Structures are given as C-alpha cells and as structure tokens.
A and B are shown apart, each in its own frame.
Chain A
Amino acid sequence: EPEVTQTPSHQVTQMGQEVILRCVPISNHLYFYWYRQILGQKVEFLVSFYNNEISEKSEIFDDQFSVERPDGSNFTLKIRSTKLEDSAMYFCASSADSAQETQYFGPGTRLLVL
C-alpha cells in the first residue's frame, strides 16, 4: 500500500541553525500539508500546498518557515533559523485530488533544538 515517508526520523540541531525536513508524498497526490505537534500538545496545522504554491498557512508559519516541492516526488519544510520552541514532531500529509479527500500522514520527524 502506498505511504507517505519522511526523513530523517529524528534530527537534533543547535539554535539558529537551518534544518530541512523531507517528505515523499504518495505519488499521485496533489495536495500537501505540514503539521507539527509540540510534546504534550495538539497537532497543529502549519501549511497547505497545491499547484506549486502555498494555499493556506497558519500564524505559526512565519518568515522563518518555507516549503518547496523541488522535484516531482519530494516536499520539504525548511526552518531557516531554528529556535528552542521549534522542537516538536513534524508530520507531512498528502491527499489525492481534492481538499476534501482523506489525508495520509507520514510517521513524522522529531526535531530537537538545543
């Protein structure tokens, strides 16, 4: 069964460093999402992406965040200058051919900023 994959599974970085979290969505999907979950808190929407552009972003998704689909398979989240409060589990998700379709989630990347 097709699945969303994410790399790395864990990332430790120093405050102020740039990190890139990578996702490979399901191959025929057109809608892509990033969510995050700070330990002990809710899963929060960050950004949605369709047709090579951001379709919606949350207040969390400020100028230090960016997303990209550099080729036909990868979908990346870049955090330009990490802060301690960026430590969280980051989930990528994709859905097929409409914003109402079921979203399929990856296993997540646990980011720890020291």
Chain B
Amino acid sequence: GDSVTQMEGPVTLSEEAFLTINCTYTATGYPSLFWYVQYPGEGLQLLLKATKADDKGSNKGFEATYRKETTSFHLEKGSVQVSDSAVYFCALSPHGSGNTGKLIFGQGTTLQVKP
C-alpha cells in the first residue's frame, strides 16, 4: 500500500544553518504531497504542498519539489531560526476514484535549532 518514509531524527542545527529533511514515498498513481509542522503543544499545520510532478511548494522560507522520478519530496530551508524548532511530517494523499482525502504520514522528524 501507499507509504511515506522520512529521515530519522532528531535533527539538531545551529541558527542560520541549511536544513534538509528527506522524504520518499510509495504510491500508485499521482498523489498530492504535503509537509505539515507541529509546534510544541499545538496541532498539525500545513506548511506547504504540491499536487503534481515538478511542482514546488513553498512557505515561510521552506521549499519542497515533487520529484516523480525519485519519488521524493525533500524539505529544505536555507537558513533556519530557533522558532523553526518543531516536528515536521511528510504526508501524501492518494489520487484516483473514490479518494476521500485521507492523509498518509511519515513518522515525523524533530528539528531542534540552537542559538
């Protein structure tokens, strides 16, 4: 079945460092891809999304490109801040007839940014 795999955390970076969190997926058809972020004590918030191959999602300095050939959707940010410390979830939503919009999540990657 469909699945998402993320790199293991935690990831610890210094402020202004470059961030990459790897995400690969397995799916039939052409899923939509998402990154959600969970700040301490809060629910999941959509960070960015891409709905078709080669689309780039971006928000708050974060970017991810839908790569069909490598089935990947890696999250990047050029310069992280302490306020980016959170848990990041990669997710997919299958496409096709009967799709109900359910999300299939990766295991989450904890990012800790130190001043």
- Contacts across chains A and B counted by CB atoms under 8 Å: 63
A16 to B42, CA, bound (A): 29
| A91 pairs with B43, CB closer than 8 A | yes
Interface size class of A (residues with CB under 8 A): 20 to 34
Once A41-B107, A43-B89 are accepted as A-B contacts, the answer to whether A99 and B101 lie under 8 Å apart by CB is yes
A85–chain B nearest beta-carbon distance, Å: 18
Please, what's the 1-or-0 string for B88-109, where 1 marks a CB less than 8 Å from any CB in chain A?
A: 0101010000111111111110
* Chain B interfacial residues counted at CB < 8 A: 24
**Residue numbers in B under 8 Å from A95 (CB-CB):** 101
B5–chain A nearest beta-carbon distance, Å: 10
| A48 pairs with B105, CB closer than 8 A | no
A108 to B42, CA, bound (A): 8
8 interchain residue pairs of minimum CB distance = A99-B101, A105-B43, A105-B44, A43-B105, A56-B100, A48-B100, A107-B43, A55-B100
Q: A102-B49, A103-B101 are in contact. List 14 more A-B contacts (CB 8 A).
A: A4-B43, A31-B100, A41-B107, A42-B108, A48-B100, A56-B100, A91-B43, A91-B44, A102-B46, A104-B46, A105-B36, A105-B45, A107-B41, A108-B43
